[in-house]
Structure 1
Amino acid sequence: MTDVKTLADRIEDLLPQTQCTKCGYPACRPYAEAVASGAAHYNQCPPGGAEGIARLAALLGKPVLPLNSANGVERARPLAVIDEQVCIGCTLCMQACPVDAIVGAPKQMHTVVAELCTGCDLCVPPCPVDCIAMLPVTGEATGWDAWSQGQADAARERHHRHETRLARERDAAEARAAARRAGSAGAAVSPASVAAAASAEGGAATPAAPVTATAADAEAKKRAIIQAALERARKKKEEMTATGQGPLNTENVSADVQAQIDAAEARRHRLGLGTAPGNGKPPKPSEPR
Structure 2
Amino acid sequence: MPAPNPACASNKTEPSMLADSIDALLPQTQCRKCGFNGCLPYAEAIARGEADIDRCPPGGDAGIAKLAELLGIAAKPLNPAYGIERPRLLAIIDEDACIGCTKCLPPCPTDAILGASKHMHTIIADLCTGCELCIAPCPVACIAMVPAPNLTWTETDADRARLRHLAKQQRLTKLEAEKAERLQRQKQLLSKAKSAKNQD
The two structures have a TM-score, normalised by structure 1, of: 0.61
1:80 Cα deviation after fit? 0.6
Question: 2:146 is paired with a residue of what secondary structure?
Answer: strand
Amino acid of the structure 2 residue aligned with 1:186: K
Q: 1:49 maps to which residue? A: 60
Q: 1:113 maps to which residue? A: 124
Moved over 3 A (4+): none
What are the superposed Cα offsets for residues 55-98 of structure 1, whole Å, 9 maximum, x if unpaired?
00111111110000000010111111011111111111001101
Question: C-alpha distance in 2, partners of 1:2/1:168?
Answer: 32
Q: Give the unaligned 5+ runs of structure 2.
A: 1-11
The two structures have a TM-score, normalised by structure 2, of: 0.88
What are the superposed Cα offsets for residues 217-262 of structure 1, whole Å, 9 maximum, x if unpaired?
xxxxxxxxxxxxxxxxxxxxxxxxxxxxxxxxxxxxxxxxxxxxxx
1:160 Cα deviation after fit? 0.3
Amino acid of the structure 1 residue aligned with 2:170: T
Identity of aligned residues (%): 52
Number of aligned residue pairs: 184
Q: 2:25 aligns with which of 4, 14, 19?
A: 14
Question: 1:119 is paired with a residue of what secondary structure?
Answer: coil
Q: 1:180 maps to which residue? A: 186
Q: 1:85 aligns with which of 73, 96, 114?
A: 96
Q: Where does 1:31-70 land on structure 2 (aligned, <5 Å)?
A: 31-70=42-81
Question: C-alpha distance in 2, partners of 1:169/1:64?
Answer: 41
Please tell me the root mean square deviation across aligned C-alpha atoms, in Å.
1.8
1:3 Cα deviation after fit? 1.3
1:138 Cα deviation after fit? 5.0
Question: 1:93 is paired with a residue of what secondary structure?
Answer: coil
Q: 1:124 aligns with which of 120, 125, 135?
A: 135
1:2 Cα deviation after fit? 6.3
Rg: which structure is higher?
A: 1
Question: 1:91 is paired with a residue of what secondary structure?
Answer: coil
Q: 2:158 maps to which residue? A: 152
Q: Which has the higher contact order (CA 8 A, sep 6+)?
A: 2
Contact 1:76 1:138 in 2 (8 A): no
Amino acid of the structure 2 residue aligned with 1:58: E
Question: 2:105 is paired with a residue of what secondary structure?
Answer: helix
1:176 Cα deviation after fit? 1.0
